[in-house]
Structure 1
Amino acid sequence: MAKKAAETKPDALKGQEPVILLKGPERLLHQLAIQNMERGLLQQHGPDGVAVERHQGDQMQLADVLDALRTPSLLAPHTIVIIEGAEGLIKENENAEDSVVPGRKKARTPRQVLEDGLATPFPNATLILQVLEAEKWRPGRIDRAIVDLGGALVDCKPPSEKDVLGWIDRLAEDHKRQIDVEARAVLLERVGPELSQLDSELRKLAGASEERIDAKLVKQLVAKSSSDEVWALQEAVLSGDPKRTAQVLHEVLDIGRKSTVPAFWCLIDLARKLAALSINAERGIDPWSLSRALKLWGPAQGPTLNAGTRINPDVAAQLHREALDAQLAPRQGRGNERRALETLAIRLTLACAG
């Protein structure tokens, strides 16, 4: 088996690579790699010495790409040709003609045409291939040809859980701010590890702060993710406290400005799980054995299992039917959607209170 070509990081790019392949879903790393290439090339060719062309891989012929690389630009001495969705550029078509020699059928696949094209240097251009869905790019001779030409394969996968905190610090510094340790943790909890989204939120936080970003500011300006809000509503219902449930609904619908659809889904899902747990508990089945089937894990697992075993099966089944009807009724002209949601939430909360 051929040895896999080594991958590098965006920060390692200097602008001297004739071809780079960006593989992975993290868009901010794609952007960083392209910026590093542009910076390096501008240093070599001067502020007006680099032109940039952007193309979609599924909307451009491979022959046109190769022509763009070999034909000197009239705008600048050097051209960066960026192909977004490069996997579309080499997608094979059983009935297609050779993309370089018209009339020749199946002589060479698009992959082979690109491999051959990369075998010859193109001194006046740089090719950047972007692949967000790395699984659609089959590594092979193209990757090796890129490396042999002096190019680079760039890893654009999301950072690990260990590395993402360092990225938050770095992105905050990019916006001329420092971020407190607690604020960093809150931001990651609410936004998740996607660097592009973290960068967007940090830009907003930087605009609202002078030097440091603290946890209070993050809580004020960064909304919780939809999954966090869903669990917060289920958690409130399971607590058996109607005031807490009403407060969470207010946060979701009024402060978060979310529609009632996710909240209805959340309550219907909870009602279904409680009904299943209650009926099986009456049959003597260990509720913990149902966790996998009901997709119960994490902090929601214990409270849901405990509530499900306490509720009467008939009551649980009736609540599930009411939950389904509550979502449908407003759509059929029977009542107000928000009022139906609030009523259902309080009914479930009181049932969980016992």
Structure 2
Amino acid sequence: MARKMPAKSVTLDADVRVLALHGPEEAIKKEKIDQLREALEAEHGEIQKFIFDGKIATLAEVFDEVRGYSLMGGYKLVIVDPADDFVKAHREPLERYAQSPVDHATLVLRSASWNRGNLDKYIAKVGAVIKCEPPKPAEAVARLVARAKDVHGMSIDRPAAQLMVDRLGVHLVRLETELDKLAAMAGALSPKGRSMKSAGGIDRAMVEQAVGKSSDEKAWEVQESILAAMGARNASAGTIVTKVRELIDLGGQPEILVMYFVADLARKLAVGGQMRAAGEPEGAISKALKLWGPRQRLFMDVLRKVGPDGGARLLDMALTADARSKSGFGPAGRNLEGLCVQMADVQG
């Protein structure tokens, strides 16, 4: 069995005696616990599951349950959730336990954070330490396609799944919840008399209608337009101002909100410029700023153009324009247009 590896690389079996699941992705933690439970049931038959709140449970309470034999004589699965504070307070006793665990129970430590140390080494010999992170966008799309088929018996177009990831991000709990809603809609919209299992699929039009754009997606709509204008071969103040006016007049975006999104773009360029000046590769910059695909290429083109000093100047200009608008020094639209003129003049 693989140890101390990313979640997708680990298959859990009935030999696991201690398991640590940490990271922000709750859906993967649940998936791994379900996988472990199924393996234990296949080996031991019916098992008993006990869950302790790691914020209030004592070490004695948890160890008494783990070490004690079940009155029914079955195998036990004992989960501490959340285990962040519990592990921090009882690391040494947990290290000793992991060196000699009982053979009639499995202890699961489920936490958001995890500090590596000797406990990892001891757990790896009798189980696994698994980091549960959100998947990459392409992996999230693939999981949505698979879940639609396996759980709901219907298809989802890949462009539809991609749009869900673009709008909602890559956290699986939210994606799976929205997919379940869409599947219910698709079943309800299927011809009368057809079961949901025989219903059609989920297409991009349904996602566009039912899945709202996240604030990040709305921000990127504005920022992509401005980046495209800044990165154009013949970029000018007029090009950027025209694009901003289109977003406000035709796209229905409030001037104050556009100003906020422009300031956020300036912040990203400033951070990216500092990282680039420090020698960080573009891949690391993209990961830190959550950029991928066409957005990544567009952003990097502009970042190379403005340079680290230009990014810092852009941020200062954006903060000044935002402060002027909030303080009543001129209409927000005029301050925004003035900022666009300044942005066109920034070069590395």
Q: Normalised by the size of structure 2, how large is the TM-score?
A: 0.62
Residue identity in the other structure for 2:159: E
Q: Which residue of 1 aligns with 2:25?
A: 26
* 2:93 alignment partner in structure 1: 110
In structure 1, the residue corresponding to 2:223 is in which secondary structure? helix
How is 1:126-165 mapped onto 2 (pairs within 5 angstroms)? 126-136=106-116, 138=118, 140-145=120-125, 147=126, 151-154=127-130, 156-159=132-135, 163-165=139-141
Shift of 1:30: 0.3
2:51·2:79 contact (CA, 8 Å) conserved in 1?
A: yes
Cα 1:10/1:77, change in 2 over 3 Å:
farther
* 1:229 Cα deviation from its structure 2 partner: 4.0
Q: Say which of 209, 223, 234 aligns to 1:231.
A: 223
Structure 2 counterpart of 1:91: 88
Letter in 1 for 2:322: Q
Once the two structures are TM-superposed, the CA of residue 299 in structure 1 deviates from its matched residue by 0.4
Q: How far apart are the structure 1 equivalents of 2:319 and 2:136? A: 40
**Cα deviation code 1:300-329 (max 9, x no counterpart):** 3445776x69xxx9xxx8x98774444224
State which of 199, 204, 207 in structure 1 corresponds to 2:176: 199
Match of 2:276 among 292, 308, 319: 292
Aligned match of 1:65: 62
SS of residue paired to 2:34: helix
Distance 1:330 1:65, change over 3 A: same
Residues 67 and 102 in structure 2, CA contact (< 8 A), matched pair in contact too: no
Question: Is the CA contact (8 Å cut-off) linking 1:180 and 1:215 kept in structure 2?
Answer: yes
Q: Is the 8 A contact 2:168 2:175 kept in 1?
A: yes
Per the normalisation by structure 1, the TM-score is: 0.62
Superposition deviation, residue 69 in structure 1:
1.4
Find the aligned partners of 2:115 and 2:222 in 1 and give their Cα distance. Answer: 31
Q: Identify the residue that residue 194 of structure 2 maps to in structure 1.
A: none
The alignment yields a C-alpha RMSD, in angstroms, of: 4.8
In structure 2, what residue type is equivalent to 1:169?
A: V
Which whole-Å deviations, capped at 9, do the CAs of 1:117-176 have from their partners, x for residues lacking one? x4332x2x432122433554655442145x2xxx45545344456644432322333344
| Contact 1:15-1:37 at 8 Å conserved across structures | yes
Q: Residue deviations 1:37-70, cap 9 Å, x none?
A: 4455667655xx63432322x5433232111213
Segments of structure 2 that go 5 or more residues without pairing to the other structure are: 188-199, 279-284, 287-295
CA contact (8 A) 2:18 2:106 kept: yes
Q: Which residue of 2 aligns with 1:119?
A: 101
2:120, 2:129 within 8 Å by CA — same for their partners in 1? no
In 2, distance between residues paired with 1:169 and 1:137?
38
Question: Which of 171-180 and 151-160 deviates more?
Answer: 151-160
Q: Secondary structure at the match of 2:186?
A: coil
* Bigger Rg, which one: 1
Determine if contact 2:226/2:243 at 8 Å carries over to the other structure.
no
Which amino acid letter does the alignment assign opposite residue 292 of structure 1?
Answer: R
Q: 1:152 to 1:253 in 2, by over 3 A?
A: same
- Larger CA deviation: 211-220 vs 260-269: 260-269
Q: CA deviation at 1:27?
A: 2.0
